[in-house]
Amino acid sequence: QKEVEQDPGPLSVPEGAIVSLNCTYSNSAFQYFMWYRQYSRKGPELLMYTYSSGNKEDGRFTAQVDKSSKYISLFIRDSQPSDSATYLCAMSAFHSGAGSYQLTFGKGTKLSVIP
Amino acid sequence: SQTIHQWPATLVQPVGSPLSLECTVEGTSNPNLYWYRQAAGRGLQLLFYSVGIGQISSEVPQNLSASRPQDRQFILSSKKLLLSDSGFYLCAWSVQSGTVEQYFGPGTRLTVT
C-alpha cells in the first residue's frame, strides 16, 4: 500500500460547481496535511495546510482532515475556469535524521472547470 | 519577498551526456533546499535535500548527484544521463526553523533522447 493515495482523475465540472478532492494515507506519523495547486508546466503552489484533524477555510477553499479515517479533502466552492489545474495533496512528518519536515505527495488530481 | 529561480527552463539532452541544473533562492538565508523529480503518472519524488552548505542527503540511489556550493544555490548533476532521467525537475526551499511549508521553483523540463 502506498503511503498516499490520490485519484488522478481527470475530473471535469461545470463552472460554479462545488469540487471535492480527496486523499487517503497510511502513515499515522503524518502531522501536517497540505494542498498544492499546479498549473500545466509550472511548479506547485502551496494553497493551504492544516495541522492534525479539523477544518480550515481560505476564501473559496476548505481543507478537511480526518485522522481517524486517514482521509483528507479539499473543497472548492463556486469553481472557476481559473481553478483548472492539477491538485496535489502532501503530508508531512518530522524527519529526525534530516532535522526537518519531509513531504510525501499524492500523484495529483487533474481538474478542469468548464465555462 | 522570497524568490526561487531555476534554469534552464527546458533541456533536451542525448543519452550519456552530462547534466547540470541550477537553483537559486533570493530573499532568505540558510534555507533548507530540495530537489524533486516529477515523472508522468508518478507524482513528486524527493531526490536530495540540504540543510546547509556542503550538506547533502540522498533519498533515492541513482546516477544523479547534488551539491550546495553556496548558501542559496543548489545544483543537480549527472555524469551520464539515462532515458529514465527524463522528467520535470523541481527545486524547493523551506525555512530552517522547523516549518513545514515548502515553496517550489518554476521547474526544468528535461527530455533525454
B101 contacts B1 by C-beta, under 8 angstroms: no
Confidence of residue A95 (pLDDT cuts 50, 70, 90): confident
**Residue B90: which of A43, A102, A107 has the nearest Cβ?**
A43
C-alpha closest to that of B101 among B31, B36, B47: B31
In angstroms, the CA B86 to CA A36 distance is 23
**Average pLDDT for runs of 10 along chain B of length 113:** 94 97 95 93 89 89 90 96 95 86 96 97
B112 contacts B86 by C-beta, under 8 angstroms: yes
In chain B, the domains with their CATH numbers are 3-112 (2.60.40.10)
**pLDDT tens digits along A33-75:** 999 999 999 999 999 999 888 899 999 999 999 999 999 999 9
Region A5-17 average pLDDT: 94
**Chain A residue with minimal CA distance to B55?**
A98
**pLDDT score, position A25:** 96
* Domain A4-97+104-114 class in CATH: mainly beta
Residue B98 forms contact with A (CB below 8 Å): yes
CB atoms within 10 A of CB A53: 13
Residues of chain A with Cβ-Cβ distance to B106 below 8 Å are 42-43
**A7 to chain B, minimum CA–CA distance in Å?**
11
Region A77-91 average pLDDT: 97
CB atoms within 10 A of CB B27: 11
**pLDDT score, position A1:** 62
Residue A107 forms contact with B (CB below 8 Å): yes
- Give percent of chain A with pLDDT exceeding 70: 99
Look-up of cell digits 541513482: B62
**pLDDT score, position B61:** 65
Domain layout of chain A by residue ranges: 4-97+104-114
Preceding peptide of B61 cis, ω within 30°: no
